[in-house]
Amino acid sequence: MGITKSDFFTRRQNEKAQLMKALGHPARIAILEHLLKVNDCICGDLVKELPLSQATISQHLAALKDAGLIQGTIEGNRICYCVNPKCIDLICAYFNNIAKRLNRINQDCCKT
């Protein structure tokens, strides 16, 4: 296989980009917010909560799960999902690091 542009970046940069890409859709943000609100695993309640079809919700859940933002367990013939706290901690640490760096940067550097 040939080299892709993502090969020019570190593994960590690619992982963070995958997380941010998974967060780049409002339906996925809504799913995460709902999971955080109920603070429990859910098994299909999302169709009642979001104005989307089951198939569309399943696609968004798959994208969130592939990125590691949510995790699922199989209970009989259904899959229950909850937020993956380790992944959320990683995102928080990334943005906290950015915020710390911003505090050290000359805030007047780009003002005209």
Q: Which pLDDT belongs to residue 73? A: 81
Distance CA 65, CA 79 (A): 12
Distance CA 22, CA 90 (A): 14
**Whole-number pLDDT of residue 107:** 64
27 or 73, which is more confident: 27
Residue scoring higher pLDDT (76 or 7): 7
Residue range 12-60, pLDDT digits in tens = 899 899 999 999 999 999 999 999 998 888 877 788 888 999 889 989 9
CA-nearest of 47, 17, 21, 22 to 32 is 22
What CA–CA distance (Å, rounded) separates 83 from 70?
A: 4
- Categorize the per-residue pLDDT at 2 as very low, low, confident or very high, splitting at 50, 70 and 90: low
Task: Give the tens place of pLDDT for each residue, 90-100.
Answer: 999 999 999 88
Per-residue model confidence (pLDDT) at position 104? 72
- Tell me yes or no: is domain 10-104 CATH 2.40.50.140: no
From residue 80, alpha-carbon distances to 6, 31, 42, 95 in Å are: 32, 13, 5, 29
